[in-house]
A and B are shown apart, each in its own frame.
Chain A
Amino acid sequence: MAEHAELLKFLDNSPCLIVDASHASSWTLQTVLLEMGVPSDRVTILRKFEEAKTFIANKKPKLLIADHHLDKNVGLALVEQLEKILESHQRICMVVAHSPTEAAVAEAAEGHVDGYFVKPFSSEAFRSRLGGIVLRKLNPSPYSVKLEEGRKFLSAEQLPGAVKEFMAAKPLDPKPTLACFFAGHTYQKMGDINRALDEFKQGRGFQNIHYKCLVGEFELHIAQKRYKDAYELVELLKANYPLSPKRLGQMFMAAVFNMRFEDVATFFDLFQQLDQRSDELTKIASSALFAAGKHFIEKKEVKKAIEIFQKGFIVSSLDMHYLEKVVGELLKNKSSNEAAEFLMKAPQRAKGTLQFNVLSLRVDFTTQKREEAVERARKTLLENKLPPDIIEQMVKFMAESDKATLAEGVITRAAHYYPEIRAKLYKILEETKPKKSA
């Protein structure tokens, strides 16, 4: 019962918000709160992300319980919103989810979530966890108080004041890893990289795999473009913690800059396991996989390159620009057959579009289908604008085939789109001699 009184004291008549698309789950959470003595008019249940956003902005609930998956948005976005309105000691944010992935839990733990529950749960366990959080928020240790004060300075960008508080926190705990992390983070913001690094390392001295210090050090190296140093921490992070989407993105980058292209391919598997992928992470992952594919082409390991390109193409959601880049690389490597095969991976919706047809021409110009492709290109040019490189190849091939009149027709048509290349095209026509076999 004491925990009930503590919860009411913490809430101080502020509203509680439950955001969950499942009626059953939200009723359970509501019942727990009511059983803990929260007046029913203080508990609001909402089903939709946008409604919840508006409620948070207007009512500033001190207790937020959100499902990790809401509409297409994540409940964490609501936690972030509340975090901007109320300080850490003023709010409690809990996340609930069915079968969360480890990456999802890691992402929540890295943020400002106070507790994470898997559905269905025991209401007793939930009550107990909530009670524990309330007690900590109401009766923080002197160490936590100092950290909180430092964080206030930090959010107000009063960095020297923040450092002072974090330093004062250190003697208050036998293993002040978090004070070290925040001091390091603050020094980094002040541009004092060496001191920042010292603080992170000091924190890891208390506990080698302390997550925040480890990540602090890793991110500092990334920010400083010291990818080799950053990569040395990757194994430690991978071995001990699930990777959040943000961390995975950084690891992709660090792997590319360290030429660890084999690892890029393995990170793809981790990417596939995520249930939420931001646009930014998707972009980083597909670029990293493209870079890895290019690397294996340069090493003449075309089969491996294609496997990786294929993964990148999946990551890019079958983006045609990605496919265009891959086909370009394969053609540069004179892997015409592989380029033709890869082109066939284009989604059905893309086939028949001008972009697909242009790619198809580029590929066919390098194969036995060249003659047929040139004729196809000529007909396409009557209606559509084709890129200059295609036109140049058409003119060259027509000249080689002793079809100067046809080539002149192409030049006249092309000059309609690109008057500046007319002279160049005539030069190609004049300088290319017909091949005997033509």
Chain B
Amino acid sequence: MQKVKNLTTDLEIRPPERDQPIEVTEIGDLTLTFFASSVAKEGQLIGMTGELASSGQSPTKFDVTGRIVDAAKVDDKLHKVSVHLHQFDKQVWGKWFAAASEAQRRVDRIFDSIRGEE
């Protein structure tokens, strides 16, 4: 994500590493999780601007507004933030989420068929 802003406080949420975009590390049906260096609190609204890229597809622009559902402090400079998505292009997200889920299912299929009953 190129830009993440806390809409409640109007402050920018900074990435953990300078000059690096915020990376989405976990995904759920309507949630995404990332790490940030600045503090954010549960219940606050955030706005994110960036791109979604999945295996074999070119990146698609994706803007989203969501509410923080979990903000856990890992250490003084690192926070794990989970966001429930509210306003976003459902078609883009749905397509990307389906592609990401299918990529894991495909890997599982290959993996399990080769490993057999091991």
Contacts and interface: CB of A to CB of B under 8 A. Distances in A.
Interface of A: 22-25, 27-28, 31, 98-100, 102, 105-106, 108-110, 115-125, 173, 175, 177-178, 207, 210-212, 240-242
B55 A99 contact: yes
A24 B110 contact: no
B11 interface: no
Interface in B18-71: 20, 22-28, 32-35, 54-56
Contacts, number: 96
A118 B113 contact: no
Given A177-B117, A241-B110, 4 more contacts: A24-B16, A116-B107, A125-B104, A178-B116
B104 A121 contact: yes
19 contacts: A25-B25, A28-B25, A28-B26, A28-B35, A28-B80, A31-B80, A99-B55, A100-B107, A102-B106, A109-B110, A110-B114, A119-B25, A120-B26, A120-B32, A121-B26, A121-B27, A122-B27, A178-B116, A211-B114
Contacts of B28: 122, 124
B48 to A, nearest CB: 14
A118 B33 contact: no
Q: Report the contact-size class of chain B (Cβ under 8 Å from the partner).
A: 35 or more
A122 B25 CA distance: 8
Contact of B100 (A120, A173, A207, A240): A120
Which applies to chain B's interface (DSSP): helix, strand, loop or mixed?
Answer: mixed
A207 B114 CA distance: 12
Interface centre among A23, A28, A118, A241 (most CB of B within 10 A): A118
B25 A27 contact: yes
A211 B113 contact: yes
Interface in B63-112: 72, 74, 78, 80, 100, 103-104, 106-108, 110-111
A423 to B, nearest CB: 65
Contacts of A173: 117
Contacts of A102: 106, 110
A106 B33 CA distance: 29
B54 A178 contact: no
A392 to B, nearest CB: 56
A118 B103 contact: yes
Given A118-B103, A175-B117, A178-B118, A22 B23 contact: yes
